[in-house]
Structure 1
Amino acid sequence: MRAIGALILGIAIVAGLAVATSRAAEEPPAGQSEAKAPTAASPTSAVPVTPKDAAPPPSVTIIGASEAHGVLGRDVRSAADEDMGRIVDVIVDRGGHVRAAAIDFGGFLGVGSRKIVVDWNALRFGKIANKKDSITLELTKAQVAAAPEYKEDTPIVVLGASGSLQPLQAIQ
């Protein structure tokens, strides 16, 4: 039933975008009036104003609620079901590729915690141990506890499960 609702919602969104796009193409830009037919008082012929670089309608993709989730603020567990912290940031390279996640690790109720960075490939997304949509880190609590703290505007030390993380290449 949810799938049908999502499909109907998607169709409504696409239809709404199509109507809005066609209305925008029909209306003159703000501050301009529509071109009028030439009259005896104005011998020059008027040409209708149309935007030359009208943007095509955006593409629309519908992702089911059970197909994808945001990750910021989500709890992370170890394979041994230990609390590993919460994802507080996602690190991307200059090409926009996801490289790592910053996890707020340790402490109690936010006191004494610190941010550490783990390789994105060390995270597993899926169902484990009867917990729907869990995030599991393929590192032990001791490994994460030994990781250096992440601080903005300093070189990032990324902790990886297999040690196969490649260093970032500097982009000039």
Structure 2
Amino acid sequence: MRAIGALTRALTLGVAVVAGLAVAATRAADGPPAGQTEANAPPTAQPPASTVPVTPKDAAPPPSVTIIGASDAHGVLGRDVRSAADEDMGRIVDVIVDRDGHVRAAVIDFGGFLGVGSRKIVVDWNAMRFGKIANKKDSITLELTKAQVAAAPEYKEDTPMVVLGASGSLQPLQAIQ
């Protein structure tokens, strides 16, 4: 019986607190109490800047949306690259873009065995072909021979890079100062 009495008192107190908050909120929305002007109203706390409502003029326009089918596009990082003769050329480990955001080249982890003795080579994006080739689903083919790639200098980050391209496909990159 005592527990029920305590529960009833706690519930009554909770209802009273909620009712008091509701009345205070209503009064705040209606303005200062009778006889009190805005000038002599007690100071109220301003909401933090992060909770200030965003006006429509500040709202960002809705983003554009494009739907691409799962079979129409794939990521390229980590994908195997083959030569036209179906030789293993390595895996794409990075993509190089110019200052305008255009894709210029791919960095391929070439050679070695199980990651030992491999080196990174930069190949022109236009020297790669994406698509299905004889029993290979969504393969990436490089229009260079294994010997050409093996002779290319190694890519080292933050140094000038030599981009290996298929005959006639490479466009010069303007010097970045």
| TM-score, reference length from structure 2 | 0.70
**Backbone CA RMSD of aligned residues:** 2.2
In structure 2, how many angstroms separate the alpha carbons of the residues matched to 1:64 and 1:115?
A: 32
Q: How far did residue 74 of structure 1 move?
A: 0.1
> Structure 1 residues 50, 163: CA separation in 2 closer, same or farther (over 3 Å shift)?
closer
Q: What SS does the aligned partner of 1:36 have?
A: helix
Q: Which residue of 2 aligns with 1:61?
A: 66
Q: What SS does the aligned partner of 2:94 have?
A: strand
Q: Which residue of 1 aligns with 2:89?
A: 84
Q: Give the greater-gyration-radius structure (CA).
A: 2
> Structure 1 residues 164, 69: CA separation in 2 closer, same or farther (over 3 Å shift)?
closer
Q: How far did residue 90 of structure 1 move?
A: 0.1
Q: What SS does the aligned partner of 1:64 have?
A: coil
4+ residue stretches of structure 1 with deviation over 3 A? 35-44
In structure 1, stretches of 5+ residues that fail to align are 1-32
Q: Which residue of 1 aligns with 2:110?
A: 105
Aligned length: 136
Q: Which residue of 2 aligns with 1:75?
A: 80
> Structure 1 residues 36, 49: CA separation in 2 closer, same or farther (over 3 Å shift)?
farther
> Structure 1 residues 56, 36: CA separation in 2 closer, same or farther (over 3 Å shift)?
farther
* Residue in structure 2 matching 1:126, options 125, 131, 136: 131
> Structure 1 residues 43, 153: CA separation in 2 closer, same or farther (over 3 Å shift)?
same
* Residue in structure 2 matching 1:116, options 118, 121, 143: 121
CA distances 1:91-129 after superposition (whole Å, capped 9, x unpaired)? 000110000000000000000000000000000000001
Q: Which residue of 2 aligns with 1:145?
A: 150
In structure 2, how many angstroms separate the alpha carbons of the residues matched to 1:161 and 1:104?
A: 18
In structure 2, stretches of 5+ residues that fail to align are 1-24, 40-51
Aligned AA for 2:136?
K
Q: How far did residue 42 of structure 1 move?
A: 4.5
- Answer with 52-61 or 117-126: which moved more: 52-61
In structure 2, how many angstroms separate the alpha carbons of the residues matched to 1:60 and 1:38?
A: 44
Aligned AA for 2:107?
A
